[in-house]
Structure 1
């Protein structure tokens, strides 16, 4: 690998590793399932995406780079959706929010949906 390619690949690997560490710290330090899920989905998506791009560039093979790019795009499209669905399932299972949470938008939506289904 030439120097002109080694430097960007190295920077992408370091950046991806930093975002992965931030996601792991978020899982350990944040107070409830909803904020933990947010940290894991956002920082984890960026971290793994940077690592995938670094692997694709480092391979110096266009076919591998295209596969890595396709994997990154797929991950960007699916990770936030799956995190939202997991948060919704946790809320429907009545997993409590941390007391420091300021507002619960899902509760407002449930009240609106309940009023629509069963009007008074």
Structure 2
């Protein structure tokens, strides 16, 4: 076997390993946010490595371009979709795990009005208020 086959095989096997780890995380982790983290991070990396392995195996330019474009598409859309789903689940008051140490959104989210204040905006407002105090 030549070097090209070895490299593509290693990339594909690493991608399969990351996808397998993601599937274990989806089954084993205690709450929605942790499961989404496992699925998004490891799943995106797994698919990316598999597609890189395919691009190395098939040396054709069209396959390589399609693989790179697909990796870019997944790399851009998966984290955004995961973030939006996590935000919607937080607003719907999906129960967090007991293992969750800190809820950073809690002081910024009003559950009655469903208003989420920007953390950066909160800090700048506090700084402005301190400047105007005697």
TM (normalized to structure 2)? Answer: 0.79
1:57 maps onto 2:61 in alignment: no
- Larger RCO, structures 1/2 (Cα 8 Å, 6+ apart): 1
Partner of 2:13: 14
Q: What secondary structure sits across from 1:101 in the alignment?
A: coil
- Gapped runs of 5+ residues in structure 1? none
Superposition CA RMSD, Å: 1.8
Partner of 2:41: 42
More helix by share: 1
Q: What secondary structure sits across from 2:95 in the alignment?
A: coil
- Gapped runs of 5+ residues in structure 2? 111-115, 122-134
CA distance in 1, matches of 2:106, 2:81: 20
Find runs of 4+ consecutive structure 1 residues off by over 4 angstroms: none
Count the aligned residue pairs: 114
TM (normalized to structure 1)? Answer: 0.88
Larger Rg: 2
